[in-house]
Structures are given as C-alpha cells and as structure tokens.
Structure 1
Amino acid sequence: MTPPNDSDNPPNRWSDLDRPPLSAASLRRALVREGGLWTSLDVVAATGSTNTDLAARADELPEGAILVAEEQSAGRGRLDRRWSAPPRSGLFFSVLLKPDDVPVERWGWLPLLTGVAVAAGIARAAGVDTALKWPNDLLVTVDGQERKAGGILAERAGSVGGGIVVGIGVNVSLRADELPVPGAGSLELAGASGTDRDPVLRAVLRELERWYGDWRAAGGDPAPSRLQEAYAAGCATLGRRVRAELPGGRDVTGEAVAVDGDGRLVLATEDGVREPVGAGDVVHLRPAGEG
C-alpha cells in the first residue's frame, strides 16, 4: 500500500511538538490552594477573548478565577487593538480580582502592578529581562532593539462589586517569520533559557499573587507596598523624551520624569510645566539616556 502523502494528512495545527499544550490539572495542583488568591483555573483550546469570557461571569465567580486560552481569535489590547498569535505560541490568560477593601481610585494601579509581576515572573522562569512601557506594554530586547512581547488590559467587569478582569498576553515561542508586525518580539527571540509555558505561567501567577497581596494589605497605597518604587525601577519610559497622545486628539511632548501616586506618567514639557498623563498612548521618541 502506498503511504499517504502530505496532502492526504495536512499538518495538524495542534501537533507542534515544540509547543506542548498546558495541563489544567497540573496548574491547578500547583496554584489553587486553600487560603490562596487563586480559586479556579481553566484552560480552553481556543476562544475569542479570555477577558470577554471571564468578564461575562464576573458576578458569579469568586475572586481569583483564572482563564487560559491556547489560542485567541479576538484578543484585545488597549484602544481596541487586536492581539493574535499562532496556537500555543504564547500565554493568553485573564484573572478576576475583587479588591473591595481598596478605594476605587487606587484600582488604576492594577495594570501597573500586573506589569511588575509579569516582568518578575518572566525573569525568574525564562531568564529574560523585561522592561515596562507605561502603562501596559512588556518590552524585550531583540538584536539590540526594543520589541513589544506582551501587553496587559484591565477592565471593570460585572455589576457593582463585579471586580476587575486583568488580561495578559505574552509572546513566548513566536518565531521571526510569525511576527504580526515588525516591532513585535517574543521571549524566544530575546534569548529565553526555555520556552516551556508552564513554568512561566506559574511564576507569573505566583508573583501576581504576592504583589497583589502586599498592595491590598497596604490599602492600595503604592508607596508602603513598594509597588511605586518597583514600577519606576522597571519602567523603560522614565528618562525618555516621549509623546503622549491623549483622548480627544491632544498631544503632549516632554521628558517622562516620574510615575505619581495615582499611577499617572508625569511629563516635564519644554515650557517648564509638569503634566500628569492618566490615559492615552505613549510613543518613545528617543532611547533612555540619550540627550
């Protein structure tokens, strides 16, 4: 009998041996425990958006629910930007947080807190230094150039008391020929010591639990919880000349000099004004340290 040829057996998009599937049971054993933050963990083969799915159930789920997708077809970033990648090439997940004992005005620190946790987890599990671009991008260095390897999106969910859904996307094993745009990157392209997603996900979630616990114990105050200090230390935006594209079409250009107690980026403009930016898109105009 003639063996089947490639056209008879087209490649299975789930059969890439370099990208093994995540085990929900193994992750639950490692992360879900009595008295801990994480209360449930589910892994789905594919979905449109883990943020959308988790937000739809925010009222019925307890704090600490985790939803992971092996593939997202309608993943979203800030400003409704799309986030897509091949199946099992990255980590695409959302968590439900309900910091009811923290003043709502301090909830804006949650995406920054998540960035600190993700950077720490990646450094520990993959050996890659990740910088934070205010407010929600994760940067790695590939061939001497800064590339975006991930992002964070925090959204209010459910009714009053529904909480916050925080979505995280990280390109892990994405190869150069798979990059969606030239400015993208991945942990693999940045020289990761390994691209097994399981230990990276575990490390990120453990760091997130630790930072969230400290921040919540401090009533959401970023100073005593050391969150403000940690974010500033890892923020690639500080010390650079940037352009902030604000809602309403206004732009502000200046040097990013601080992240204030409300999590806003403070720009020193050429006319001597220090202007805090709480929302908008930030463009790095020059590398840190350049005059």
Structure 2
Amino acid sequence: MSPLSLPPVPEAFQLPFHYGALHHLGIDWLVAPEPVRELLATHHPDLSAAEFDGRALVSFNYQLYFAQYAFGGGVTQEIEYNVIAFPTAEGDRIPQLTYAQYAQGWDQTKLLGIARIHVLCDNPFAISAGRALYAEPKYPGWFEVDLPSLNGPAGETWTVHGKAAGTSPDGTLERSETPLFSLRAALDDTAAALANNTPITGYGTCPDGRVLAGPMNVYQPYRWYDLSAPEHADRVHLTVHAVDHDLGRDLRSLVTDTPAAGAWTYQSPPVAAHNRPYYLPTRRPADR
C-alpha cells in the first residue's frame, strides 16, 4: 500500500491555525442511533456513529475566538452541529466507553471525533478556510449572545441566538433577521469536572469522497458538566425557529424534546487587566 499524501494547504492559508483566545460551549445529547446513522451516511459515508450504552451522541457547540494576523486581528463566531463518529475501517480500535468516560477524555486513540453536519460562521475568511482546509460544511450565519464574562455580571449561563446570513459579491457578510435557533444553557451552581479531552478530531468528507481528519489542541482542560440527573433536565433549552432550514430540520430530527446529557465549556484566561483608577491628591490654593 502506498503512503497517503497530506492534503494541500492553499496559498492563502497557513497551518497550524493558532487561536489567540477561545470561548467555547458544547451541548451533548444521547439519542436513538438509527436516525443518526441515516444522517451520517448522507454526509460522511465512510464514518460510523459511535454508541454509548446503545445510544448515539450528537453535539451542538458555539465558539467565539480571536486570532492575531500580520495585518492585525480578527474575531469569529460559529456553531457546529456534529455527530460523534469514527472511521468505519478503524472499528476494531474503538474502546468501549460510557458517555461520561468519553466526555472526560478517556479515548486516547482520538478516533472518536466530531463528524460535522452543519457549521454556521460569521467570518467569510473563516468559512473559506474551513471549506478549503478541513472540508467543513460551512456557510454564513451570525449570532447574538449573552455569555459568562469577567467583564459582565457573575454567572455561568450561556445564551446564543443564531440567525441566517449570506455573502455579498465582494465577499462580505450580509446579515438577515431570520432567526434559526436559540440555545440557552444555565450551568450556574452546577458541579463541573476537569476534562482532558483534546485533541479533538474533526472529520470532513471532501467532494471526491476522501475523509479528512483534523485534530484541534486546546492547551488547558475543559469543564464538563454531567446533566444526566433528572434535576438538570431543564438546564438546557434548544429552540428551532426555522424548521424548514437544513440545520433546523436536522436538529429537530434528532434532539427534539431530548434532555441534554452533558455540557462542556472552555474560556481562555485573561492575559492582562486594566485596573480601577484612583484620584491623586490636589494642592489647595493656599499651599501653592
């Protein structure tokens, strides 16, 4: 067997891509496996859906990230709708894990990865990069959010509203007011476990049918929230507004009315702080 060649890196891009900061929320649902297998076969025929105690796993995650370039900086937001899957040809190497074990990084083969079904993004350059480098099914969207922040009120509630968008002939994002989905995860007062779960392997299928595997390293642990107990059933709410949109249709087909099994978050630590000012004493006229 001849050795595999590495996928080309188009001239406009450079790898690895370095994140200057990352704020990341993921929600996992354990669902019936057969509809997941059917969806995965449509998008990634050489991948198989992973199962955890007889259930398939889908994830919906939001990212806000910053990158510094030679010309300056850029901020990007995106969401991914994924199926947890593995290369079918590698099935004999997949460990038998519970969902909680997988979520905390027990799979050291890293073959259990995210097979991307939909990726919405508000940065046209990032859309082009995702398509060209990783065969991501990436298209325009934009977001209104309310996130946990050291520069905001205390709390661990994440709210993300996704809306439709397009691109103009000159390549800029054109926003629409059409709502696609709303996601709210109230993780306040919920115990979290540190999860050493990266690198995360992301799978994409090229137009010629070849499968790409692209690992992403995050250099500090994630926080994983076990939401399997009945008292956590109302912590996550996902509302699909555009039921006829491809994303909305696939969301509704798999996770309608299913309580979330877990959530995971990562927020880059601050690198500097501009502190509160103070007054200097002034001299009174008689002292001058």
Give the TM-score of the pair, scaled to structure 1. Answer: 0.29
Q: Which has the larger radius of gyration?
A: 2
Higher relative contact order (CA 8 A, sep 6+): 2
Using structure 2 for the length normalisation, give the TM-score: 0.29
Structure with greater proportional helix content: 1
